[in-house]
Amino acid sequence: MEKIAQGYGGSTFSFMWQDTALAALRKMQNLDLNNFDVLVVPGHLWPDELSAAERSGLAGTLRNEGIRIESLNLPALDLNLVSRVEEFRRYSVDLYIRTMQLASDLGAGAAVVVPGRVSSLFPPPRKDTELLLLDSLEQLLRVAERLDQKIFVELHPQTPIPTTDAMLAFLDRLAHDRILIAYDVSNAEFVGEDQPDAIRRSGNRIGQFHLSDGTRSQWRHDRIGLGTVRFDEILDAMKETGFSGTSILEIISSSALEDLSASANALKRSVID
């Protein structure tokens, strides 16, 4: 299998039910991927399953093998930072805090945070939801400052701020250099966003890109080339804004290694063309 030109990171999303995080990272490192976004789930990587000694040992292994984790990422399905059930919101905040501590212990500098979930059928009033989100993120920000971490707030279609316009308007209320956007291009495609324009307007407020393909009719994270995301224009916009962070290949596939390699090759062709 062809190796990937250096410069891209990878997500362990496709590996989280079958491999430990370390095993998945080693597989992707063999493709020359690095600076990873690691999913946080039991059996793959989970705060309560790692003692202090085990965390130290894993951190040492990562250093020795040259594997760099940029961010940890809790799946959105199990948590809700805007839940109207206060006990559940508190649990969600606490789990993010424990994940941020794990990130710090493993030498990672950030956590990806999905900004809550709301029903598309009958959501609560937006102003009430945004107040809950503001409170949740302020709690995480205090921890991020203590641990020297960043928070990448993900653009996600099931949240109360699913578009760049909504995201930027909300983040203006919580302006801080530790809070940046994780811009997911297939999520943006699904909500009908003009991604190159959104990237230019966001500028240096984007801290991480998530790259995969999808369409405006199906929410997917496919191999690049299988959907309608305009990667050539997106890469141009990223270059114009001077983005220097990590671009994560977040491909969800049963043949993840093959599709990661094919996606990176497609991106290289976009740059050359």
What share of the chain in percent tops pLDDT 90?
91
Answer whether 136's CB lies under 8 Å from 144's CB: no
Residues 77/123/184/181 CA torsion (nearest 10 deg): -100
Over range 82-103, report the average pLDDT: 98
Task: List domains and CATH numbers for the chain.
Answer: 8-272 (3.20.20.150)
What local confidence, expressed as pLDDT, does residue 59 receive?
98
Measured CA distances, 223 to 40, 54, 155, 246 (Å): 22, 34, 19, 18
List CB contacts of 37: < 8 A, sequence separation 6 or more: 9, 10, 11, 12, 69, 70, 71, 72, 73, 112, 208, 210, 246, 248, 250
Quickly state the pLDDT bin for 272 (edges 50, 70, 90). very low
Per-residue pLDDT at 3 exceeds 80:
no
Query: Which range among 37-41, 205-209, 266-270 shows the weakest confidence by mean pLDDT?
Result: 266-270
Q: What is the pLDDT of residues 117-131, one digit of tens each?
A: 999 899 999 999 999
Provide the CA 102 distance to its chain's centre, in angstroms. 16
Q: Output the DSSP codes for 219-234.
A: ---BPTTSS---HHHH
